[in-house]
Amino acid sequence: MNASRVEAAPGGTSATPSGPLVRFAQRLSKLKPRSRFAASFGFGALASLAMPPLGAAPVLLVSFPGLIWLMAGVRTFWGAFGAGWAFTFGFLLLGLYWVPVSMLVDPAFYWMIPFTAAGLPAGMALYHGLALAVWWRLPFSGVGRVIAFAVFWSVAEWLRGHLLTGFPWHLIGYAWVDWLPVIQSVSLIGIYGLSLLTVLAASLPAAWITPWGRSLPGLGAWLIGLAVIAGLSIWGGFRLSTASNDVVPDVHLRLVQPNIEQQDKMNPDLWPDNFRLLLGLSVDPGTDAEASPPSHIIWPETALPYLVEQDENARRALASIAPAGGTVITGVPRRIGDGDDQRFFNGMIAVDDDASIVATYDKHHLVPFGEYMPFSDWLPLRAIAGRRFDYSFGPGPQTLAVPGLPPFSPMICYEVIFPGNVVDADDRPQWLLNITNDAWFGRTAGPHQHFAIARVRAVEEGLPLVRVAGTGISGVTDAYGQIRAYIGIEERGVLDVELPVALPATTYAGIGDMGYITIAIVLLAVAAATSTGRRQKFDQSPSN
């Protein structure tokens, strides 16, 4: 059969392609398997430019239609899987390039750099490869096919964020983090819901411009998709217009960012010097002469990388800088038990001016291979971060009560990336505290992405966020995700800040991902209703 003949698609497309975009879509559809695989990878890498810190969201209007046009020429299930996997691999490979930087801290792990650089994105891309292969196999057509594409992509994101401990990093919705009116929608539908609507709006040009010609229904659907994003932006702008600068009275926080390199932080010979540096910064007069004296001082994750609870001198040193009636909150390792029964935790403690520990918290969502070794019975390797023991899991999200502070939800580092799992739903806090150590990742995109993700948690929950990092980024945002104060990467200093007030519980705080799930089901029903029951494809010579 002639490879140049095209099958007329239902829904208003013409039988003869015309126009440069239509011809471009046709050429993509006719690519051979190897070229399709490479093009899919390229479109995925392009999509990564939409994410923080670049935030070039309009590139999604090219990358997602490009993938759909490529997949119009696929002839087998595994060909569809390969295209979807290659796109996502390119997307994650570029977006997560900073992950193997942590291996540079310890020369013993240099040999693992290629595996972490490619293995993580390759594994995470399996979700999308399988989801898009299933989408390709189902009999959606016309506008419905593109709508279904967005749903299946978002389902893969949701699965990636939940299965095998989850890794919900680099979700498409984060492309809007600096577009504050749009990001307000996560207070209703969460980041997964925003990702779904973003992929839908970005993909619908492929329902208007197809390898079979132009489609008026597709154009109409795309305009509706853009109208949805515009509507979210208008609603978000109105929400932002009601924001105030109100702060919690009598709460003055000092955030300490010591900017100690990871190698120096791990060196026991330098621990006394590092401790003195933290103590000095905590009592420094600061640069703002009008700032109120701090009522509480906050240090980053594992600011003191040893067992402070068993070290009376260290506790007394902390008490010496604790404000009267206030506390020093710091990340430390914690040990419970003795001998064979002892367990270690990546923890947080609050020490008052009497050297008493008035609150503790243990991290519950640990980093696989970094803080514990999965399948350790079969993989007797020490954790990638260089520890010779695994941390134990804490009990889960909790609300801490510390004298002089509104109740807060503590999160250590990685825990802040999990939507819907950052507060105790039965004991709503008044703010979020995220202490972290991003020094592992140097001056890369990683700390920027981490801070962006944390800001979205604030909007989802309607709670202000305080973030204290070892080498950056530290800062405070209000419950709308607006940055109130900020210390950049590899800067040493302190922030003297007031605590923004909390908002009433958001819709998302009440229903979690049910909003996203409802939208996904409705869109899938619309996709089925607008399809004819036969899949659009290019009639070409047999290939993958």
Can the peptide bond before residue 113 be classed as cis, meaning omega within 30 degrees of 0? Answer: no
CA distance readout (Å), 405 to 300, 322, 362, 391: 18, 14, 19, 29
Instruction: Please state, in angstroms and rounded to a whole number, the distance separating the CA atoms of residues 104 and 370.
Output: 14
Alpha carbon dihedral 482, 428, 471, 344, in 10-degree steps, equals -170
DSSP for 294-307, please give it: PSEEE--TTSS-S-
Q: How far apart are CA 451 and CA 95, in angstroms?
A: 15
The two tokens of residue 396 are 């889960």
Helices (H), 477-513: 507-511
| 301 catalytically annotated | yes
> Distance between CA 301 and CA 338 in Å, rounded?
24
* C-beta atoms surrounding 307 within 10 Å: 14
Contact 236, 181 (CB under 8 A): yes
**Calpha distance 55→107 (Å, rounded):** 33
Q: How is residue 468 annotated by DSSP?
A: E
The catalytically annotated residue of 157, 363, 415, 460 is 363
Catalytic residue (one of 30, 157, 265, 301):
301
Burial class (CB in 10 A: 0-12, 13-18, 19+), 391: buried
Give the active site residue among 157, 309, 413, 460.
Answer: 413
Q: Where are the alpha helices (DSSP H) in 462-511?
A: 507-511
Residues with catalytic annotation? Answer: 301, 363, 413
